[in-house]
Amino acid sequence: MEVGYGSGDKTGFFTQGRRSLKALIVQLKANMVELARNIKKLGQDDPRRVIHSLKVGLALTLVSTFYYCQPLYSNFDETAIWAIMTVVVVFEFSVGATLGKGLNRGMATLMAGGLGIGAHHLANLSGHIGEPILLGFFVFLQATISTFLRFFPTLKARYDYGLLIFILTFSMISVSGYRDDEILELAHRRLSTICIGGATCVIISIVIFPVWAGEDLHNLIGLNIEKLGNFLEGFGDEYFKRTEGEACNEDKKILEGYKSFLNSKTIEASLANFAAWEPGHGRFPFQHPWKLYLKVGTLARECAYRIEALNGCLNADIQVSSEVSTIIQEACTTMSLETGKALKELALAIKIMVQPSSADSHIENAKSAAKNIKSLLKSGIWEDIDLLKVIPGVTVCSILVDVVTCTEKIAASIHELASKAQFKSAVSPLSEQIQSVKSAQMVNCSHVITVSESTLAASQSESSSAPKDSKQSMEV
């Protein structure tokens, strides 16, 4: 009986073990499938990520030849490792980020190397006892000053990495010189390998499928403003319950697209910083006014915060009463629709780099509607209406009036950008069909979209004549 009991325990143990092993295998397969799905999605969302990975691999392979090739290794010895380290830390996703880091690293190494050699020779004059004391003082002084300079916002934004490398290089050169008499040769080899690694990164980044931070910033600002326009165009119908059914649900997804804009300040600032390092390319000449994009983005973000408040009114439990809705519906819908159209015109003007004159008429219509609603709010028609019924509608009116003011400021800033960046003059008003094209544009991918104006002329022939057989190339 005891033997049978023991064999039963073993059988149960092995059965449970097989079940656990099968469950583990199933879970492992599921994790692998999920990982493969995520990798595929990551590459499909932005194919440039795959290309960037290949570019980094190519750069590392090229600089690794300093170790593989004996003649090259003989010239640099162990300092050849700095070329590999430079590629690892310098090669970034965009050209601007790579160029900025490369120049920071190269200039910081050059300056720190020169000062380090000078500090070593100066300390050497103080004798055997005073040399380590003086070297320690120089290291302390430069580290203190450089670290304090990193707290300045303007220096931190563009030169923080360079200051960090300056501290590291100065300390290594000056301290190493105390034990190594060949300090000049050490500094020369370190600077040479860093320049070689940085140059490799910059050349590959520019020559092979370059990713321009400036172009990404340009497209990002345009797309974000377009999202604001999409919300405002659909807000009036959604708020006053003109749309119903499945179309309403689809519109709600479009309406909420603006939310990605609320926290984009850091991304915009980073792209503008990288763009400032980039040389002239494509539609963006040297010294393109990248800082004005930040101004436009800031004003548009202020508008987005007001749109967030409108979205709160849209989803509020207390909705506007039918009595109040009848009074304010026309003016509110006009303000919302016209500001939405104006913002979409402004977004498209940024993307194709033309003067945003076509948005002015929509802004004037929105200002006229805002003036009407102000007069309506000051009138005495609200005396006989319950105050609780009035508050939701008046809140929406007040926010929309504020949105009109924000849109006017955005338009003024874009006019300034168009003037400084020398945008082309718009030949004719932009049609609705061209506006529909920009909804398919993505910030993360570069495409060339060709729109034939002959197709637009066919749709406009009933009302007015339009040019035919001409093409407009739009790069986004």
Extract the residue ranges of the chain whose pLDDT is less than 70.
Answer: 1-13, 70-77, 177-182, 242-256, 317-319, 380-384, 386-387, 426-476
CB 110 within 8 A of CB 187: no
Structure tokens, 272: 């503008």
Instruction: Give residue-wise pLDDT tens across range 389-400.
Output: 777 788 888 899
Sign, CA torsion 193/198/201/203: negative
Q: In terms of DSSP H, where are the helices of 150-244? A: 153-179, 183-207, 213-239
Beta-carbon count within 10 A of 176 CB: 16
- What is the pLDDT, as a whole number, of residue 163? 93
Task: Tell me whether residue 41 is exposed, middle or buried, using C-beta atoms within 10 angstroms of its C-beta: 0 to 12, 13 to 18, 19 or more.
Answer: exposed
- CATH topology classification for 213-442: Methane Monooxygenase Hydroxylase; Chain G, domain 1 (1.20.58)
CA dihedral 86, 89, 93, 95 (to 10 degrees): -40
- How far is the C-alpha of 344 from the C-alpha of 368, rounded, in Å? 19
Q: Which of 215, 208, 349, 223 is nearest to 280 (CA)?
A: 215
Identify the pLDDT of residue 13. 67
Confidence at residue 250, expressed as pLDDT on a 0 to 100 scale: 52
| Nearest one of 442, 42, 434, 440 to 216, comparing CA atoms | 442
**Placement of tokens 């006229």 in the chain:** 368
Would you state the pLDDT for residue 76? 66
pLDDT of residue 161: 92
User: CA 373 to CA 360: how far, in whole Å?
Assistant: 20
pTM: 0.76
pLDDT of residue 133: 86
